[in-house]
Structure 1
Amino acid sequence: MPRGYLPPLRRAPVSRETSIQAETSSFGSSPLHKATAMLFQTKKGADVTFVLLSKKILAHKSLLIGRSSVFEAMFVGAMAYKDPRPIIRLNNFDATITEFETFLEYLYTDKIDINLKNMHSIFKLAHMYDISSLLKECTLIFKKHFQLSNIFEFASFSHLYQDTCSLFNDVLQFICENTSKVLNLPEFNKLNAAIIAEILKCDNLEASEENLFQIVSLFYMEVKGRLFLFVLLTKNLNVEKHKNHR
């Protein structure tokens, strides 16, 4: 055999099973966003199960931990589930199966279809699991749907989350820019005192003295009515307690 001679390499036989696996698996060659999307679709390697209305929804703990501080607390640390493959039952859950799956898909892909039907539920899920990027997405969608016919609904809803995102401030901005029209809506009289107080704090309130007087009067009547109701209820409770002690 001449010096430097290298024998030809022989390829090991490839089984049909190995060949099929190589053809069907594309995780290794996919960009990250495509790979995570495929994980969501295939559920390969899923290690947590959510149960909502008897439907089992599979997911991957590591990915959820990377997206949410709430999921991190659920799966890592002293308060985490002891089971390495936990089953989490979502009882009394304020979302449908489709809405929760849509929410999970966003965590995998950063893409989501938000519409008038699901936007309140998606917003609540984003708030519940501390997904700030999704809260911003929802806020942008909400702003596109602001109208005089629904602004008070948005006001009541967003007021609950004013410490979490900018949605309530955006609602106030819309109200301030349309003050005269807003005050003429019959629903204005149904706003609670806390929201009216926030409207009065606005620096750019486009309202006449008459409009401002109307707002202040409504605020006063709302507070007075609540105070009267509180006193009445307290008085009735004291009467009932007195009767029971006889």
Structure 2
Amino acid sequence: MSKILGKWANFGREIRTAIVFGSKGENVIFVDGKYQVCAFGKNEDGCLGTGDDDELKVPVRIEELCDEEIEGFECGISGDKCSIFAISSSGAVFSWGNNEDGQLGLGTTEYTKIPTKIMGKLAQKMVVQVACGGNHTLVLTSEGQVYAFGQNVDEQLGLGSRTGRANESVPRLVGGFPDGEIVTWIACHAASSFALLHSGGLCGWGSCWNSRSGLGPSMNNQASPVKLTTLDNVVITRIVSGAYFTLALTDKGKVYAWGDNDKGQSGNGTTSWNSFPEVISMAERVKDIAATCYPNHPCAAITDNNQVYIWGNCNGQKVLKPILTSFSSLEEVFAVASPQVSYHRFQLKNKKEVSSKSKNSMYERFRNAFDNTETADFSFIVEGKKIHVHKMLLAISSDVFKRMFLGDFEDSTAKEKIIDHISYNSFYAFLKYLYTDEVDFTSELALEVYAVAHLYQVTSLMEECEKIMKSTISVQNAAAIYDKAILFEAEDLCGFCFNYCMEHLVEVVNSIDLDGCKEEVILGVYRRAAGQQNNVE
């Protein structure tokens, strides 16, 4: 998370999603729990979508988006100019910002400061993903179709040679994919575009210079999708593009790279470009990969063991082979890079396919049963308020509840129970998770929910809370999290907090003045560090 977003992380509202962007990571747009869309930051050229270009020092509503149920964002970067896209829950796309080549898909090349819905051929389509190449854009629909618009000087729109290299300001359907195949994921950089097929195959088009399209060293651009036959023997599960290079992840956890390699983006120990996709040597199986269009950003990969590796241009340094970091997520890599931005490749769930969460599904019935006075057979009283539950459902969710309700204890026949020393909000969030599997609480509550989950031995929720705490750890809360990690013998979380405290020791120690109870925790950090030093010696 960028520091600029962290500054506002505690301003009293739930954050559904957010994007941090700009040449210095100075702009933020977020969606709160009620789908209100707000922005703050430098707002150069009106990129925040509020209709003007005044700096916004406090969050300001983006009126055009507040009733649209925005689920995710994408941002295209060209120099210091940004093109922004917002996807709604219905699959509508709104765009604004830089539009010099028609990359907003609005039928013009005029810069716009107000989010505008993309119409034309997308008006009746459900868009699930947007990929930005800087000056051109791809969109993927729920039907597996790809539309393109914007700059086409390298034929990166994939519209065929019959169109020449003319730019397009309205969405145009990309054809030429193998018969019987549908597209499940898209990616692009400034000069080339890519589509992942449901079979695990990959198509590329656009610039072939420096093998940017992955199709070999040919100097001829490709005006239509062409399958990368060099990857025919592997199943690709994810593709991401950086600044003129691309990474692909296979179902076996292998990472392939191609395109520009002047900063070591190929991770092969050299700065020579590959003629074809080449596998990157990694000691562990990789489960996800990341790259951005910012030239100073590194490539990143996270393994099945949650080990994060980076390589390439790491804030001005050439790292030619993957190196292990102390990060715990891909998001952290880019939250401390230059510029600091958010990283999340968003794809809207296709509502037509998500039948497991339909109104008549088991999932929905459990959701509706939670805290339902009509069907509940037990109540917890927390801070004077009741939460209505079902004994049998809790009994199959936690061994603690199983012993409580099915054993020879007073609770097995009681109708209610008073819960002390636990806040209502944390206990409510804990019980709701047992019904819905939803992590529906703010980061500030994660530590309390973690303690409740530990008390009732719900390890899956503890793991979810750990993820939240790791991603939002700060000087102010590091000691508290470290203390709880020691208390609950959470070795992984304890080690993470310890490393954070050591890296930010001065700031954490200075925060003791604000909370005297941290002193013993900090002393514990010193003792552990001294013990490690003695072991080394």
TM-score by length of 2: 0.29
- Change in Cα spacing, 1:202 to 1:30, as seen in structure 2 (3 Å) is farther
- Change in Cα spacing, 1:165 to 1:31, as seen in structure 2 (3 Å) is farther
Post-superposition offset of 1:76: 1.3
Match of 2:477 in 1: 150
More strand by share: 2
Match of 2:213 in 1: none
The alignment status of 1:166 with 2:489, answered yes or no, reads no
CA distance in structure 2 between the partners assigned to 1:50 and 1:153 by the alignment: 27
What is the percent sequence identity of the aligned residues? 23
Tell me, yes or no, if the aligned pair for 1:152 and 1:191 is still in contact at 8 Å. Answer: no
Q: Which has the higher contact order (CA 8 A, sep 6+)?
A: 1
Tell me, yes or no, if the aligned pair for 1:136 and 1:165 is still in contact at 8 Å. Answer: no
Select 1:182's aligned residue among 493, 502, 505.
Answer: 505
CA distance in structure 2 between the partners assigned to 1:64 and 1:165 by the alignment: 28
CA distance in structure 2 between the partners assigned to 1:49 and 1:154 by the alignment: 30
Tell me, yes or no, if the aligned pair for 1:127 and 1:164 is still in contact at 8 Å. Answer: no
Tell me, yes or no, if the aligned pair for 2:382 and 2:422 is still in contact at 8 Å. Answer: no
Post-superposition offset of 1:42: 3.4
Q: Secondary structure at the match of 1:154?
A: helix
CA distance in structure 2 between the partners assigned to 1:144 and 1:115 by the alignment: 12
Post-superposition offset of 1:183: 4.8
CA distance in structure 2 between the partners assigned to 1:165 and 1:31 by the alignment: 38
- Unaligned residue ranges in structure 1 (runs of 5+): 1-28, 210-246
- Change in Cα spacing, 1:201 to 1:114, as seen in structure 2 (3 Å) is farther
1:51-200 correspondence runs (5 A): 51-79=381-409, 81-83=411-413, 86-90=415-419, 92-95=420-423, 97-161=424-488, 163-164=489-490, 166-176=492-502, 178=503, 181-183=504-506, 185-186=509-510, 187=512, 190-192=519-521, 193-200=523-530
More helix by share: 1
Post-superposition offset of 1:55: 2.0
CA distance in structure 2 between the partners assigned to 1:41 and 1:130 by the alignment: 21
Post-superposition offset of 1:102: 1.9
CA distance in structure 2 between the partners assigned to 1:114 and 1:82 by the alignment: 29
1:46-104 residue CA offsets vs partner (Å, 9 max, x unmatched): 11111223322210011101111111110112335341x521122x3321x33322221
- Change in Cα spacing, 1:94 to 1:42, as seen in structure 2 (3 Å) is closer
CA distance in structure 2 between the partners assigned to 1:200 and 1:88 by the alignment: 46
Tell me, yes or no, if the aligned pair for 1:139 and 1:166 is still in contact at 8 Å. Answer: no
> Which amino acid in the other structure matches residue 114 of structure 1?
F
- Change in Cα spacing, 1:66 to 1:82, as seen in structure 2 (3 Å) is closer
1:6-85 correspondence runs (5 A): 30-40=360-370, 42-79=372-409, 81-83=411-413
1:198-213 correspondence runs (5 A): 198-202=528-532
Tell me, yes or no, if the aligned pair for 1:51 and 1:87 is still in contact at 8 Å. Answer: yes
- Change in Cα spacing, 1:122 to 1:195, as seen in structure 2 (3 Å) is same
Post-superposition offset of 1:182: 1.2
Tell me, yes or no, if the aligned pair for 2:378 and 2:388 is still in contact at 8 Å. Answer: yes
- Unaligned residue ranges in structure 2 (runs of 5+): 1-358
* Alignment root-mean-square deviation, CA: 3.1
> Which amino acid in the other structure matches residue 168 of structure 1?
C
- Change in Cα spacing, 1:82 to 1:38, as seen in structure 2 (3 Å) is closer
Post-superposition offset of 1:145: 1.5
Tell me, yes or no, if the aligned pair for 1:154 and 1:171 is still in contact at 8 Å. Answer: yes
CA distance in structure 1 between the partners assigned to 2:453 and 2:365 by the alignment: 23
Match of 1:5 in 2: none
- Change in Cα spacing, 1:35 to 1:53, as seen in structure 2 (3 Å) is same
Q: Secondary structure at the match of 1:50?
A: strand
TM-score by length of 1: 0.59
> Which amino acid in the other structure matches residue 170 of structure 1?
F
> Which amino acid in the other structure matches residue 174 of structure 1?
Y
- Change in Cα spacing, 1:79 to 1:158, as seen in structure 2 (3 Å) is same
CA distance in structure 2 between the partners assigned to 1:140 and 1:39 by the alignment: 28
1:121-153 residue CA offsets vs partner (Å, 9 max, x unmatched): 211111111110111111100011123443223
> Which amino acid in the other structure matches residue 113 of structure 1?
D
CA distance in structure 2 between the partners assigned to 1:82 and 1:156 by the alignment: 34
CA distance in structure 2 between the partners assigned to 1:82 and 1:63 by the alignment: 14
> Which amino acid in the other structure matches residue 63 of structure 1?
L
- What is the aligned residue count? 171
